Structure 1
Amino acid sequence: MKLYSNRAIQLALLFLLSQNIAFASSDGEVFHNQWNETRVYYKDWLTVCKKRGEDTCRMVTYAGKKEPSGFSTSSLTLFPAQAGKPAFIEFFDRGAPSPPLRGITIQIDDRQFHLSNKETLQKTTPLGDKILETYAINSAKVEKIITAMRDGRWLFLTYDRGNQVKTIRFSLLGVTHSAAFIQAIKEQ
C-alpha cells in the first residue's frame, strides 16, 4: 500500500473543494457575452435573453451523452410567451428522423401530454430550410406543459423513430427559477 504525504492529500482536497465552490457559486449569477446576451444558469437550465432582455428569451437544458464537439446528444428549449408570440418548445435529438414523428408524448412526473403530428413540426430556418433533428412543439398544450414543468422533477419526451421508440429524460431542476428570471427581466 502506497502512503501519500499529508501535503498531497491537503492539495487534492483543496482542489476538489475549490471546484465545488466555483460550480456552486455560478448558479444564479448573471453574466453577459460578446453577442449581447444575458445568461444565467439555474441548476440544470441555462437562461438566455438576447439584447439583455429586450429581445427574445429562452431556457435550455441538455440530456444524453456529450459528443466530441462538447454538445449533448439531446436538448430541450423552452420559449415562454413573449412579444405577442405564443410559447413553444423545441427539442433536438441526434439521429431523430425526418418528419413526421409519430407517437410523441411528454410525461412530467405523473402527467402525460400526447401530441399529434400537427402539433410537432420540423424546425426551419427563416428561409424555410429544414433543420435536421430539431422539432418545434406548437400546441395549445404548451402552456399546460410549462405549468407542469414548474411543479415537476423529470420530463420524459418519447417518440417513435420508425424502427424503435425512444425516450429522453430531461431534468427540471432550475426551470422555475429560469422562468422567474425571464419574467423579471421582461418587466424591467
Structure 2
Amino acid sequence: MRRARRAGCLAGALALGLASPAPASDGAWFLHPFGEMRAYFGDWLAVCTEEGRGPCRAVQILLEGDETRVGPARLAVYPRESGGHVLTLYMRGMPEEGRDPVILAIDGHVLPLSAEDWAPGEPGAPNVMETLTIADPDVMGDLVARMRAGLRLTASHGGGGGPRGGDQTVFSLRGLTAALDAIEARATENGE
C-alpha cells in the first residue's frame, strides 16, 4: 500500500513537473512572443530580432522590486556586421544635457572615457534619454576584450558616489562571452 501511494505521488509530481512551464535553460534559444529569438547565458540575454534573422545584441537589464521590463540600468553589446561591437549604456538619472565624465571600470581597472569616445542616445536614435553609445572601434575593441575576461563592469557618471563621483551601477559580466559567442555562431549559421 505504501509503495503504491509513493509511486502514485511520484507519478503525479512528474506529470505536474512536465506540464509546468519551465524557464529556458542556459544557452537554449527560444522564440519570444515579441518575435525575437532569445537565449540566457549567465547574467546576460542574447536577443536576435526578426525571429533570429535580424540584428542581435547581448543585454543585461538590472531590475528593482516588481519591475519586469525597464529597470534602473541596462548594458547592451551589439556586434557589427562589419566586425567589432557597439555598446549602449542606460542609467536612470544620467544627465541628458552636457558631457559629464563617464567612467567604466572592469574589475577595478578604470577606463575613463573622453567626451569624444561616446555619444548620447542609441545608434540611430540620439534622442533616447539617459543613454549613451560607445562606437569607436579602438575603444570598443579594448573594452569588449576586457569585458570578456572580467567579472564585473562598474559604470559611473556625474558628481556623486561613483569611483570618481557620480551615480554608479555595477553589471555582472558572467555569461557575456558565451552570449557573444552564441550570437556569432548564429550569424555564421545564417550565412552572415
Gaps of 5+ in 2: 1-12
> Hey, what does 1:31 align to over in structure 2?
30
The alignment's TM-score, normalised by the length of structure 1, stands at 0.77
Q: Could you say what secondary structure the match of 2:74 adopts? A: strand
Q: Deviations over 1:124-166 (max 9, x none)?
A: 574x661111111122211111111111100001111589611
> Hey, what does 1:97 align to over in structure 2?
95
Partners in 2 of 1:120 and 1:67 — Cα distance? Answer: 32
Kept after mapping to 2: 8 A contact 1:125/1:131: no
- Counterpart mapping for 1:77-96 below 5 A: 77-80=76-79, 82-84=80-82, 86-96=84-94
Q: Deviations over 1:78-130 (max 9, x none)?
A: 112x222652110111121113332211111143211111222111574x661
Paired letter, 2:180: A
Q: Could you say what secondary structure the match of 1:65 adopts? A: coil
Q: Write 1 or 2 for the structure with the bigger share of strand.
A: 1
Q: Measured at CA, do residues 68 and 176 of structure 1 come closer, stay the same or move farther in structure 2, by a change above 3 Å?
A: closer
Kept after mapping to 2: 8 A contact 1:101/1:117: yes
Q: Could you say what secondary structure the match of 1:40 adopts? A: strand
CA RMSD of aligned residues (A): 2.8
Partners in 2 of 1:52 and 1:74 — Cα distance? Answer: 26
User: Would you say how many aligned residue pairs link Structure 1 and Structure 2?
Assistant: 168
> Hey, what does 2:188 align to over in structure 1?
187
Gaps of 5+ in 1: 1-13
Q: Tell me which structure has the larger Cα radius of gyration.
A: 2
Q: Measured at CA, do residues 50 and 110 of structure 1 come closer, stay the same or move farther in structure 2, by a change above 3 Å?
A: same
Q: Measured at CA, do residues 63 and 183 of structure 1 come closer, stay the same or move farther in structure 2, by a change above 3 Å?
A: same
Partners in 1 of 2:178 and 2:88 — Cα distance? Answer: 19
Kept after mapping to 1: 8 A contact 2:103/2:111: yes
Identity among equivalent pairs (%): 25
Query: 1:184 Cα shift?
Result: 0.4
